[in-house]
Amino acid sequence: MSILILGIESSCDETSAAIIQDTKILANIIAGQEVHRNYGGVVPELASRAHQQNIIPVVDQAIKQANIQKNQLDAVAFTRGPGLLGSLLVGTSFAKAFSLAMNIPIIEVDHLKAHILAHFIKKDETQAIPEFPFLCLTVSGGHTQIVRIDDPYTFSTLGQTIDDAAGEAFDKAAKIMGLPYPGGPVIDKLATTGNAEKFSFPEPKVPGLDYSFSGLKTSFLYFIRDALKKDANFIEKEKANLAASIQRTIIEILMKKLNMAVKETGIRNIALAGGVSANSELRKALQKAGNNNSWKVFIPEIEFTTDNAAMIAIAAYYKYLEKDFCSQDVTPYARSSFQKK
Ligand code: KG4
Ligand code: ZN
């Protein structure tokens, strides 16, 4: 007998609902929030309001697209954290109410584990899924981690950022250049026509497998400020080269620690996850490292890189198998216990 789960994601600025039948996705609906564009970042209060408006239509659409009846669902799952508390509350409250109304169990999911488990979503028969144990470089707007995964329930964080996340480095660099939010995809596109070697920025010196991106942001800011004093059109003239150069630096920083993690653990199954894993050059860099070092690499489908509820539903599927349900008094958390510190 197959298991049908409704997954809800509302941790940041994407309201999403997905239906999964075992590991197969029947629907994955995502409503973005244009409202933040003019602010150069996510405005928490506006995000929670938009989630409230979007949640019911998004769930409704997912159920329709999956071509199921809501009384066929075996469980409802939601992102408990980490994320913006006001945003998380919308998904949490919806899941609780839905579970009461339909008399089905609730499953709470950690957003970071879900990004990783997105690799187990079944798209077609030929798709390769990571073999255990594997390492995952999770790079998103809020997190940057190297995680060791031994099975769908056992995750250990080997390294993580001590300040900004890789996605924030993209977004902040874009903001400094006057580009819209989120900056990652804009920089990715601009970089395709730029010279990545034109400018260089210092790499952080952080011990072990941890990352740091705040120094890079500051040196990028000062570099641009000084250049603008000499030429007011500097950004306009150099934007493709700036985008390509900052992107190259971020990718070099990410890949360096990943290489170290492989050497330290001897694990050669390597996956990529999170919003920044949509980056075309990062995907190429991992593929290249895989070819050169005989790693087996697992690069997610673009649709499962940025925040989506399909990843919540697949993570919930594994919890369902263990009957790992939660009660009506569950509350969201802003930070994950899964983070090292
Ligand atoms: O995983 P995600 O959707 O949300 C969080 O959990 O944070 O990640 C969003 C982040 C943003 O910082 C965005 O700029 C970045 O992912 N991003 C990219 C690309 N697409 C999204 N960064 C670089 N290149 C991209 N193509
Ligand atoms: Zn995310």
Going from N- to C-terminal start, the domains of the chain cover 4-123+304-321, 134-300
Q: Is the CB of 184 under 6 A from ligand 1?
A: yes
Full-model pTM: 0.95
CB of 144 closer than 6 A to ligand 1? no
Provide the sign of the torsion angle of the four alpha carbons 245, 248, 254, 257, taken in this order.
negative
d(CA 24, CA 71): 19
H/E stretch holding 27: strand 24-31
Enumerate residues with CB within 5 Å of ligand 2 (an ion).
Answer: 140, 307
Pick the CATH number of 134-300 from 3.40.50.740, 3.30.420.40, 1.20.140.10, 3.50.50.60: 3.30.420.40
Q: What whole-number distance in Å separates Cα of residue 136 and Cα of residue 115?
A: 10
The predicted structure's pLDDT at residue 38 = 75
Cβ-count burial 160-173 (b if 16+ within 10 Å, e if not):
bbbbbbbbbbbbbb
CA–CA gap between residue 119 and residue 109 (Å, rounded): 16
Q: 141 CB less than 6 Å from ligand 1?
A: yes
How many CB atoms neighbour CB 14 within 10 A? 22
In terms of phi and psi (left: phi > 0; alpha: psi -120 to 50; beta: otherwise), the region of 175 is alpha
Note the pLDDT of residue 5: 98
The phi, psi pair for 36, rounded to 5°, reads -85, -15
CA dist 4 → 63, 95, 146, 244, 307 (Å): 11, 15, 31, 43, 21
Length of the chain: 341
Whether the CB of 185 sits within 6 Å of ligand 1: yes
Ligand 1 near 279 CB (within 6 A): yes
Nearest to 251 by CA among 301, 196, 294: 196
pLDDT at 109: 98
pLDDT value of residue 340: 61
Closest listed residue to residue 211, CA positions, set 171, 260, 247, 246? 260
Hey, which of 145, 306, 338 would you mutate to test ligand 1's pocket, going by the most ligand atoms within 8 Å of its Cβ? 306
Ligand 1 atom showing the smallest separation from residue 143 Cα = 7
Ligand 2 centroid–CA 233 distance in Å is 35
Name the token pair of 257: 């620690």
Q: Which atom of ligand 1 is nearest to the CA of 11?
A: 6
Backbone angles phi, psi at 313, to 5 degrees: -65, -40
**How far is the CA of 255 from the CAs of 130, 164, 173, in angstroms?**
19, 17, 19
Residues in the chain predicted with pLDDT less than 50, given as ranges, are 341
Q: For atom 3 of ligand 1, which residue has the closest CA?
A: 306
| Closest CA to ligand 1's atom 16 | 275
Atom of ligand 1 nearest to the CA of 165: 12
Q: What sections of the chain are H helices per DSSP?
A: 44-66, 85-102, 111-117, 166-176, 183-191, 214-230, 234-265, 280-293, 310-321
User: Distance from the CA of 306 to the center of ligand 2, in angstroms?
Assistant: 6
Residue 335 pLDDT: 86
- Structural tokens at position 202: 């210092």
Q: What does the alpha-carbon distance between residue 304 and residue 271 come to, in Å, rounded to a whole number?
A: 13
Name the architecture of domain 4-123+304-321: 2-Layer Sandwich (3.30)
Percentage of the chain beyond pLDDT 90 is: 89
Structure tokens at 240: 């493709």
Instruction: Please count the other Cβ atoms lying within 10 Å of the Cβ belonging to residue 341.
Output: 7
| Whole-number pLDDT of residue 311 | 98
From ligand 2's centre to the CA of 73, what distance in Å? 25
Ligand 1 centroid to residue 184 C-alpha, Å: 6
Ligand closest to Cα of 182 equals: 1
Phi, psi for residue 274 in degrees, rounded to 5: 95, 165
The answer to whether the CB of 300 is under 6 A from ligand 1 is no
From 276, 311, 338, the mutation candidate for ligand 1 (largest count of ligand atoms within 8 A of CB) is: 276
